[in-house]
């Protein structure tokens, strides 16, 4: 019998993992999910980005007889996945609108002839009568619905076609269905289950942690200089994303980075479609490209070796922040995420919410979401902990891999902090709630300033009460008061105004937590940038790093020959493993992480040459 033969040939899940993908161990819930699905069960799988969702359906599709049908919303993603699978020797294909009619027909033939282990399809294609009929005639191993949160209107990526996927359960009641996503709160989860008929399915929920990401948040003093310092931690072949709020800032930042010698490209909705695709393609295809983008960039970018994500402006919510930063380090290698923010972000984002067309309830939700993000930005606690708790996880007190854990900060002690807050609020009140943060700070430190004298504010009781602190530290107090909602900024004039909750502070009824402002580093000219331990340099030794770069070059050549992105050929993690282990024979090479049988055959000799030449 063909079927049992196939089953024997494929072996166990672990054997497939090793032989096809070149990995030694399953991660997280992978083994359990695969077991359940191979056994015919349906499942709901929540795993963070980079957690390894794909193997959860790819391996069962290979182990069960018939074709595994994968529903994926994004064409670029599909193409990459299929290219990567083919590199590993898996019989995979896709059907979407990018194919010529003849090409699509060929795929359909292969499908009917039982030649495919995996078929990737766009939802609307799957639901077309034609493909449904074809699938009715072949054996289907499973349906995998990737990015399953797209079924939900509450999610951020609602796609109406997804809601019709419920018919799969009706048409194919005996075929296991897997819904997979990286982001799903309770409500979205409920929608997925209801919509896809997964009431009886097993649930596998992993935490949201991305342990290989190092989180940094910094106060914006001189954005460009700070960005340069951050970028200085990476090598010229490291790719990353820089997010900005406005298109203009994207264009300017990209141009400026190019002047500084970086391969930086802009990406936003205002660019011509062809330019956008070209920039995206270069990001995927070449090494070391930095994309400067508005949030329009990223959906469906599955590039695993993004080494950093920088935010020059605050995103709108923790969800957006988590998703955007999540694009770094999918391959599990150390990666850095960094954000610079200041009072103007708070003012700008609040203004955008207030001025939007949204209804009252919607605005209330958006304001709350922004508050959470501001809380994250201002915290002295472990960033990871704040982030994960927001998503319902309960991690350790300290992660050891965020700025606050690495350089612990402590809050200003009480009652001092509350007294500082009172002084600032009182100064805002005494000067008539008509001025911005800079002016208030000047009054507090008792600056000799013509405007202050003209206004007679050198005579108010708060003039000079804060002269023991710097102007910057008072600006910090004001910013934190605004972040926490104890002050607001008038949208039109930018003046600070007291709020409902300011009163309780003035009366001493609440304690205000304040963190000290970080000292501004004055860097001597010509001082070397910090490339030290904090960086994401992947290898310790210089010789290993050099070999890694050589391997990267060789990979780029192979990728160009086949017109696929480099990471489809071999992952960075595999190059790292190669540079460390320096295998001397094909057998040794076969044991390296990420080298399966097919890749060994295709690239073994070439890799050994490069390693051999490194001596």
337: phi then psi, degrees, rounded to nearest 5: -125, 140
Closest to ligand ADP by CB, 123 or 476: 123
Closest by CA position to 551, among listed 591, 578, 531? 578
Number of residues that bind ligand ADP (CB under 6 A): 18
Give the DSSP H/E element, type plus range, for residue 485. none
Binding at 566: pick from ligand ADP, Zn ion, none (beta carbon under 5-8 Å per type): none
CB 548 within 8 A of CB 575: yes
Candidates 21-29, 419-427, 442-450, 504-512: pick the segment binding ligand ADP (CB under 6 A).
Answer: 21-29
Measure Cα distances from 310 to 209, 240, 574 in Å: 19, 8, 25
299-328: contacts with ligand ADP (CB under 6 A): 304
Closer of 253 and 323 to ligand ADP (Cβ): 323
- Identified binder of ligand ADP from the candidate list 36, 43, 44, 50, rule CB under 6 A: 50
Nearer to Zn ion, 266 or 402 (CB): 402
Token pair for 388: 């994960």
Residue among 304 and 484 whose Cβ is closer to ligand ADP: 304
CB 349 within 8 A of CB 314: yes
CA atoms of 87 and 490, how far apart (whole Å): 57
Q: Name which of ligand ADP, Zn ion, none residue 575 binds, using a CB cut-off of 5 to 8 Å depending on partner kind.
A: none
DSSP states along 526-595: TPPP--STTS--S-SSHHHHHHHHHHHHHHHHHHHHHTS-HHHHS-HHHHHHHHHH---SHHHHHTSTT-
Q: What gap in Å lies between CA 31 and CA 33, rounded to an integer?
A: 6
54 is a site residue for ligand ADP (CB under 6 A): yes
Determine which residue in the list 80, 238, 324, 331 makes contact with ligand ADP, applying CB under 6 A: 331
Cβ proximity to Zn ion: between 245 and 399 the closer is 399
What's the min distance (Å) between Cβ of 32 and ligand ADP? 13
Q: Which of 406, 413, 366 is nearest to 384 (CA)?
A: 406
- Partner residues linked to 188 by β-bridges: none
Choose, by CB under 6 A, the member of 33, 34, 55, 231 that binds ligand ADP: 55
Q: Tell me which of ligand ADP, Zn ion, none is bound by residue 311, counting a contact when its beta carbon lies within the kind-specific cut-off of 5 to 8 angstroms.
A: none
Binding mask 332-371 for ligand ADP (x = CB under 6 A): x---------------------------------------
Residue 54, contacted partner among ligand ADP, Zn ion, none, CB below 5-8 A by kind: ligand ADP
**Alpha-carbon span 290 to 309, nearest angstrom:** 9
Examine residue 428 and tell whether it contacts ligand ADP (CB under 6 A): no
Q: Smaller CB distance to ligand ADP: residue 49 or 418?
A: 49
Residue 113's SS3 state is: coil
Among 23, 390, 439, 463, contact with ligand ADP (rule: CB under 6 A): 23
The pattern of x and - marking residues 537 through 576 that bind ligand ADP according to CB under 6 A reads ----------------------------------x-----
Nearer of residues 313 and 331 to ligand ADP, judged by Cβ: 331
Nearer to ligand ADP, 210 or 249 (CB): 210
Give dist(CA 114, CA 139) in Å, integer.
Answer: 8
Please state, in angstroms and rounded to a whole number, the distance separating the CA atoms of residues 487 and 474: 14
Residue with tokens 């023991």: 468
Biggest CA-to-CA distance, the chain: 97
* Interface with ligand ADP, residue 68, by CB under 6 A: no
Out of 49, 87, 152, 426, the residue judged to bind ligand ADP by CB under 6 A: 49
Residue ranges in contact with Zn ion by CB under 5 A: 382, 384, 399, 402, 405
Distance CA 263, CA 282 (A): 10
Q: Of 599, 604, 484, 438, whose CA–CA distance to 89 is shortest?
A: 599
Give the shortest CB-377-to-Zn ion separation in angstroms: 14
In this structure, the strands spanning 496-498 and 487-489 are antiparallel
As measured in angstroms, the least distance from the Cβ of 124 to ligand ADP is 22
Between 48 and 298, CB nearer to Zn ion: 48
Residue 586 contacts residue 608 (beta carbons within 8 Å): yes
Residue 139 DSSP symbol: -
Nearer to ligand ADP, 22 or 476 (CB): 22
Of 399 and 589, the one with the shorter C-beta distance to Zn ion is 399
**Locate tokens 């097919």: which residue?**
598
Interacting residue with ligand ADP among 13, 26, 181, 548 (CB under 6 A) = 26
Q: 405 contacts which partner out of Zn ion, ligand ADP, none, CB within 5 to 8 A by kind?
A: Zn ion
Query: Among 125, 116, 184, 195, which Cα is nearest to 155's?
Result: 184
Q: Which residues pair with 264 in a beta bridge?
A: 290
Q: Which residue number, 12 or 362, has a Cβ lying nearer to ligand ADP?
A: 12
| Cα→Cα distances 443→439, 456, 485, 502, Å | 6, 11, 22, 19
Rounded to the nearest whole angstrom, what is the least distance from the CB of residue 345 to Zn ion in the complex? 22
Among Zn ion, ligand ADP, none, the one that 384 touches (CB under a kind-dependent 5 to 8 A) is: Zn ion
Find which of Zn ion, ligand ADP, none residue 583 binds, CB within 5 to 8 Å per kind.
Answer: none
Say how many C-beta atoms besides its own lie within 10 A of residue 249's C-beta.
19
Q: Which of 10, 20, 51, 290 binds ligand ADP (CB under 6 A)?
A: 51
Binding-site ranges for ligand ADP (CB under 6 A): 23, 25-27, 30, 47, 49-55, 304, 330-332, 571
């Amino acid at each position: 019998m063909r079927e049992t033969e196939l089953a024997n040939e494929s072996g166990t899940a672990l054997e497939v993992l090793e032989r096809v993908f070149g990995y030694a161990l399953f991660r997280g819930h992978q083994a359990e999910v695969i077991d359940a699905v191979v056994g015919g069960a349906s499942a709901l799988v929540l795993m963070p980005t980079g957690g390894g969702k794909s193997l959860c359906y790819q391996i069962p599709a290979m182990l069960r007889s018939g074709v595994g049908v994968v529903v994926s919303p994004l064409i670029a993603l599909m193409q990459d996945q299929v290219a990567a699978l083919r590199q590993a020797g898996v019989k995979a294909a896709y059907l979407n609108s990018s194919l010529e009619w003849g090409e699509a027909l060929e795929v359909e033939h292969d499908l009917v002839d039982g030649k495919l282990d995996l078929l990737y399809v766009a939802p609307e294609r799957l639901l077309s009568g034609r493909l449904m009929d074809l699938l009715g005639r072949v054996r289907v191993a499973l349906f995998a619905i990737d990015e399953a949160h797209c079924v939900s209107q509450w999610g951020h990526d609602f796609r109406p076609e997804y809601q019709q996927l419920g018919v799969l359960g009706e048409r194919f009641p005996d075929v296991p269905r897997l819904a997979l996503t990286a982001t799903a709160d309770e409500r979205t989860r409920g929608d997925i289950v209801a919509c896809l008929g997964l009431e009886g399915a097993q649930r596998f929920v992993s935490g949201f942690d991305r342990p290989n990401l190092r989180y940094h948040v910094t106060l914006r003093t001189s954005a460009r200089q700070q960005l340069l310092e951050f970028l200085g931690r990476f090598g010229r072949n490291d790719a990353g994303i820089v997010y900005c709020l406005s298109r203009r800032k994207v264009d300017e930042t990209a141009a400026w980075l190019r002047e500084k010698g970086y391969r930086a490209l802009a990406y936003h909705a205002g660019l011509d479609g062809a330019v956008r695709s070209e920039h995206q393609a270069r990001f995927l295809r070449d090494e070391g490209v930095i994309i400067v983008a508005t949030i329009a960039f990223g959906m469906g970018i599955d590039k695993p070796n993004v080494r950093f994500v920088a935010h020059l402006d605050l995103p709108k919510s923790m969800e957006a922040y988590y998703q955007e930063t999540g694009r770094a380090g999918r391959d599990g290698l150390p990666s850095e995420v960094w954000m610079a923010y200041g009072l103007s972000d708070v003012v700008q984002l609040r203004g955008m919410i207030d001025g939007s067309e949204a209804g009252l309830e919607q605005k209330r939700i958006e304001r709350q979401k922004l508050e959470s993000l501001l809380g994250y930005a201002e915290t002295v606690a472990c960033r990871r902990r704040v982030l994960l708790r927001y998503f319902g996880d309960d991690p350790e007190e300290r992660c050891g891999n965020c700025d606050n854990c690495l350089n612990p900060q402590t809050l200003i002690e009480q009652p001092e902090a509350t007294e500082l807050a009172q002084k600032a609020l009182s100064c805002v009140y005494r000067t008539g709630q008509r001025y911005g943060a800079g002016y208030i700070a000047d009054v507090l430190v008792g600056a000799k300033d013509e405007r202050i004298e003209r206004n007679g504010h050198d005579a108010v009781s708060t003039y000079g009460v804060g002269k023991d602190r710097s102007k910057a530290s008072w600006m910090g107090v004001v910013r934190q008061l605004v972040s926490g909602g104890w002050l607001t900024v008038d949208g039109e004039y930018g003046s600070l105004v007291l709020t409902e909750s300011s009163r309780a502070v003035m009366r001493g009824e609440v304690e205000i937590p304040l963190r000290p402002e970080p000292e501004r580093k004055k860097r001597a000219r010509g001082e070397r940038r910090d490339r030290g331990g904090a960086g994401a340099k992947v290898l310790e030794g210089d010789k290993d790093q050099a070999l890694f770069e050589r391997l990267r070059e060789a990979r780029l050549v192979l990728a160009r020959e086949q017109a696929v992105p480099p990471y489809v050929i071999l992952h960075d993690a595999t190059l790292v493993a190669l540079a460390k282990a320096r295998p001397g024979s094909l057998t040794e090479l076969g044991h390296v992480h990420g080298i399966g049988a097919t890749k060994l055959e295709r690239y073994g000799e070439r890799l050994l040459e490069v390693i051999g030449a490194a001596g």
